[in-house]
Structure 1
Amino acid sequence: MSRIGKKTINLPQNTDIKIVENNVYITGPKGKLSYQLPEVIKVKHDKKNQTLNLYKGYENKEAQKLHGLSRTLIHNMIIGVSKGFEKKLQIQGVGYRSQLQGKNLILNVGYSHPVTIKPPENILIEVENNTNITIKGIQKEVVGEIAAQIRRIRPPEPYKGKGIRYLNERISIKVGKAGK
């Protein structure tokens, strides 16, 4: 039994939900998102209490797998259109910096050339004092993927800790080679 799938989803006041057959459309102040439910999952909208409940249409392993997943995806969509998601990155290293050129992010992180990142639509990248990067958007998966893509350009190295890391990420520093 999926413990996550059984949880009720509360809808905020500023979001509207529309269910057409197996499609769920969610609209909020930040934007619109939609999700097509699998055939084995059914959704029930309680308009009086402003809640959503997901049910399995069948009792099989496939329905069990998709029950919690569908609930989590719909819950993330509701949070995305009402509040939004953000990830913060921090650049550490001498001469390492970032800047915005239009919507594109340009990173100077020790390579012979600057690295340019073009964000997809609905993703906003902000740069504060050349070393802090904030990625904002309404889709949790896309925000996380863009943050991981930026971090992958220059991950923190274990000896001095130079590189791009998530804010408050703890990097264990190795002891260097002992000289005579």
Structure 2
Amino acid sequence: MSHIGSKLIKIPANVSVDLSLQKVSVSGDLGNLSLPFSNISININSNGDERFLDIKPINTGTKKQNAESYRMWGTYRTLVENMILGVSKGYSKTLELIGVGYKAQYNNNTLILKVGYSIDMLYEISSDVKVDCSRSNIIVITGIDKQKVNQVAAEIRLLRKPEPYKGKGIRYLGEVIRLKEGKKK
């Protein structure tokens, strides 16, 4: 059994956590996030100046409900920790466009990609994610929700996945693409 759920989550000074009946809300300098939960209990513990979140599964109900709460224990802990880090520091993902003439532009919540197709690829960006294309071949995606930032980055990458022979396409910054050898005569 994993012990991820039993670790305490440290709450920074600039973050406030609100626990309602079946929802945890986190607000910080960058924004607000909330998460509904079930079959677990969340408590705030104080140790001097430091505050911690303690997440425990609830052992009431049938054997099946107890098993469900233990399975989701570590998942809820990680989701709450990601929310706290998101509202205090934020998340960012960087994509690079590799290829001759590959460019990206951002205007009016639309990302315009020129990635080797006969037409420009358009991708609509939601309001809770910010995109920066200061250089034409680098896309920086930032936001407070880790899941949304990574989902937007993955969807943009799928518009032109790196191909295995020359490595052209959209890839994460620092991603290594193993190139295949071409045909031999």
Shorter-chain TM-score bucket reads over 0.9
Alignment correspondent of 2:81: 75
Distance 1:18 1:159 in 2: 51
Query: Deviation of residue 2 (structure 1)?
Result: 3.6
Mapped contact 1:22–1:42 kept (Cα < 8 A): no
Alignment correspondent of 2:6: 6
Query: Deviation of residue 47 (structure 1)?
Result: 4.0
Alignment correspondent of 1:53: 54
2:59 is the counterpart of 1:35: no
Letter in 2 for 1:9: I
Picking from 132, 141, 159, the partner of 1:153 is: 159
Distance 1:21 1:47 in 2: 21
User: 6-15 or 44-53: which moved more?
Assistant: 44-53
Query: Deviation of residue 102 (structure 1)?
Result: 2.5
Structure 1 spans left out of the alignment, 5+ residues: none
> Percent identity of the aligned residues?
40
Mapped contact 2:25–2:32 kept (Cα < 8 A): yes
Distance 1:169 1:68 in 2: 28
Distance 2:82 2:104 in 1: 30
Number of residue-to-residue matches in the alignment? 178
Query: Deviation of residue 65 (structure 1)?
Result: 0.9
Q: Helix, strand or coil for the counterpart of 1:155?
A: coil
Letter in 1 for 2:55: L
Deviation string 1:89-135 (CA, Å, 9 cap, x unpaired) is: 00000111111122311000011111111111210001132001010
Mapped contact 2:109–2:126 kept (Cα < 8 A): no
Q: Helix, strand or coil for the counterpart of 1:50?
A: strand
Distance 1:61 1:18 in 2: 27
Distance 1:121 1:66 in 2: 30
Distance 1:122 1:83 in 2: 15
Picking from 128, 135, 143, the partner of 2:134 is: 128
2:122 is the counterpart of 1:87: no
Distance 1:108 1:92 in 2: 11
Letter in 2 for 1:107: L
Deviation string 1:18-58 (CA, Å, 9 cap, x unpaired) is: 111121111100000111111x1001101453110001111
2:182 is the counterpart of 1:176: yes
Letter in 2 for 1:32: N
Q: Helix, strand or coil for the counterpart of 1:72?
A: helix
